[in-house]
Amino acid sequence: MKREKIHFHKFFLLFVCISIICSSLHWVFPYKNYTKIAHRGDVASAPENTMAAFHSALNNGFDVIELDIHLSKDKKIVVIHDSSVNRTTNGEGLVRNMSVSELQKLNAGGWYSQRFSEEKIPLLQEVLDEFAGKIVLLIEIKPGTETPEIVDQLATLLKQTVNAGVPEKMLQIQSFHIDTLQQFTQRAPDFPIGLVLTAPINLIQMYTYKTEISFLSIHYTNLTHSFIQQAQHYGYTIYAWTIVTPSQFKQMQLLGVDGIISNSLERREENRYYAFLQSFIEGHKLLERFFV
């Protein structure tokens, strides 16, 4: 009789635990997929903002390539993150003080690995010619480059790309500066526009920007479930940047972001399964305390 009572309690506890897990599946196993955004290309496999990194992102199943642009001395749009070439090439100097011919003589991949010593700083035109229409391109106008010249050139290039048959929705623009985005929208109103944020905006800003801004790209440490719900209610898509670890992926999935901008190997996991399995493992450890 005592043994039967113990078995009953074990069965009852197991039933309760399974019920809790099943009722929580919507929380630990998110309903929707997220957009996988390669931060400066697939930097886990190739040097950032190079054609090699962009090819790797395309081949490894990312949905979007994020890249950065600056204006050269001779007023051409080049793809590089920093305002200087010092960190990612074998040269020195500011991008704006160097011509395209000078910039493209630099080794833009040797710092990463000698295998990439032939990589050059790409022109945005080269990137558009190679990748537009094959994968979504998310082009960030870097702080310090918000001049009418770069906005005008970018609008012209993207319009030409659309005229060649690429849908506007596959060419996205983002910036930290709302003024820059408004200038771009005046010249090219049909492209998805995103505001990059280090902190959430308030409800008044959210309401004011919604006619021009379609997505918000926010540092992951400043995202909350309530903010995401409010923003999505106003029609914004939410991107989180820059995610590195599996636990960060899990956190963003549970919060319900629409896209994850990442630059590490962990991004290649199917992280919604990771989130579920991690929760299952934690639950399994709890059950062991009762039954083992």
Active site residues per annotation: 39, 81
User: Is-contact 141 151, C-beta < 8 A?
Assistant: yes
Cα–Cα distance between 196 and 191 in angstroms, integer? 16
Taking residue 278's Cβ as centre, other Cβ atoms within 10 Å add up to 15
Give the position of tokens 């409010």.
230
User: Is-contact 225 255, C-beta < 8 A?
Assistant: yes
CA-wise closest residue to 223 among 206, 241, 209, 207 = 241
- Write phi, then psi, for 259 (nearest 5 degrees): -145, 150
DSSP string across 53-89: HHHHHHHTT-SEEEEEEEE-TTS-EEE-SSSBSTTTS
Residues 6+ apart with CB under 8 A from 1: none
User: 231 is written with which tokens?
Assistant: 């923003």
User: Is-contact 262 41, C-beta < 8 A?
Assistant: no
174: Cα separation from own chain's centroid = 11
Which amino acid does the sequence have at 64? Answer: V
User: Is-contact 63 35, C-beta < 8 A?
Assistant: yes
Cα–Cα distance between 37 and 52 in angstroms, integer? 16
Give the position of tokens 């929705």.
169
User: Is-contact 158 188, C-beta < 8 A?
Assistant: yes
